[in-house]
Amino acid sequence: MMTFNTVLIAGLGLMGGSMAKTIKARTNCRVLGWNRTRETAERAKSDGDIDAVAGEALFGEADLIIIGLYPQATVDWLLDAMPKLKKGCVVVDMVGVKRFMVDRLEQAALDNGVHFVGGHPMAGREFSGFDYAISTLFDGASMIFVPTKSSDEQVLQSLESYFMSLGFGQTVRCTAEQHDRMIAFTSQLAHVVSSAYIKSPEADQHNGYSAGSYRDLTRVAKLNENMWSELFLCNAEALAAEIDEIIGHLDEYRRVIRAGDRDTLTALLRDGRERKERIG
C-alpha cells in the first residue's frame, strides 16, 4: 500500500475546500493548498484548513494531488504541473465528467511518470465557494474511481483505503464511459429538470402553496451555472439522450391527462411507483 504523507489540494472551492478540511480533521497528513485566487488559500491557511499555500516550488513534495477545478481548468493546470510533480505521485481529479478528463490526461500522466486516476465524490451542496466548505461533506458518500493506463492495482487499493478513512461510505470503480452515462441520469438530468421546472410563470406565486415536493424538486436549481454548463457540454451526448428520454415520458403523461384517460394515467403512475420501490 502507498502512503500519502503530503497532500496537495488544487482549487479550494466547495469540493476542494471541503476535502482540505476533511483531511486536516481526520488524518495526520500535511496539507498544501493552491487556489487561483491566492487570498482564498491564505485564508484557508490562517483558518488551519491547510498547512501551507502551495507555490510551484512545493508541487514536487506532494504524494497525492486532489484537484477541485472546472473540467478545462483541471486539464490546463495538470498539463502545466505534471513535469514539476514527484515521479510516482498519485493525481485524482474531482470533475463530474470522466471521458473528457481521461482523454486529455492519461497519456500525459504516462509521459511524466505519475499515476492519474479519475475521481468523482458523489457529494455536494446547492452552494459554491470556500465559504460553504465543510469537513463532513463526504460522510457516507460514494467515491467513484476511474482507473487509467497510468494507474495500477496498488494505486487503486491505496486510494480506496485512504478515501474510506476520510469518511466515505463506499468506493466504486468503473470505466469513464459507464460513469458519464450514469451521471447524465443521476445528477446532470436532475439539475436540468430542476432549472426548467422553476421557470413556470406560477413560480413567483408559489409561497403558501408549496411544501416538500416543491423544495425537493427545485433545490438544485440554485446551481453554479458556469460550472454546470461546462459539465453539461463535456457530456453532451449522454445528457441529451437522457433529456430525450424524459421528454418522451412527460409526453405520455400529457397526452393521457388531456384525453382524460384515467386508466392509462393510473397505470403510468403505478409503473413509476413500482420502479422507485424496486430501485430505491
What tens digit of pLDDT does each residue of 23-35 get?
Answer: 999 999 999 999 9
* Cα(70)–Cα(226) distance, integer angstroms: 9
DSSP 115-135: EEEEEEE----S--SGGG--T
Read off the pLDDT band of 125 (50, 70, 90): confident
Of the candidates 225, 240, 17, 3, the residue with the CA atom closest to the CA atom of residue 123: 17
* CATH class as words, domain 6-174: alpha beta
- Asked if pLDDT for residue 44 goes beyond 90, the answer is yes
- Asked if pLDDT for residue 206 goes beyond 90, the answer is no
* Cα(26)–Cα(137) distance, integer angstroms: 13
Read off the pLDDT band of 201 (50, 70, 90): very high
Q: pLDDT tens for residues 79-123?
A: 999 999 999 999 999 999 999 999 999 999 999 999 999 999 999
For residues 91 and 113, the answer to whether their CB atoms sit within 8 Å is no
Edge-first strand order for the sheet with 6-10 is 52-53, 30-34, 6-10, 64-67, 90-93, 115-121, 142-146, 170-173
**CA trace torsion 214, 216, 221, 223 (10° rounding):** 150
When the pLDDT of each residue in the chain is averaged and rounded to a whole number, the result is: 96
* Cα(239)–Cα(228) distance, integer angstroms: 12
Q: pLDDT tens for residues 218-247?
A: 999 999 999 999 999 999 999 999 999 999
Break the chain into its structural domains and give their ranges: 6-174, 179-279
Q: pLDDT tens for residues 130-139?
A: 999 999 999 9
Phi and psi torsions of 30, nearest 5°:
-80, 125
Output the pLDDT for position 182. 97
Of the candidates 259, 276, 234, 197, the residue with the CA atom closest to the CA atom of residue 102: 234
Superfamily of domain 179-279: 6-phosphogluconate dehydrogenase C-terminal like domain (1.10.3660.10)
Please tell me the pTM assigned to this model: 0.92
- Asked if pLDDT for residue 126 goes beyond 80, the answer is no
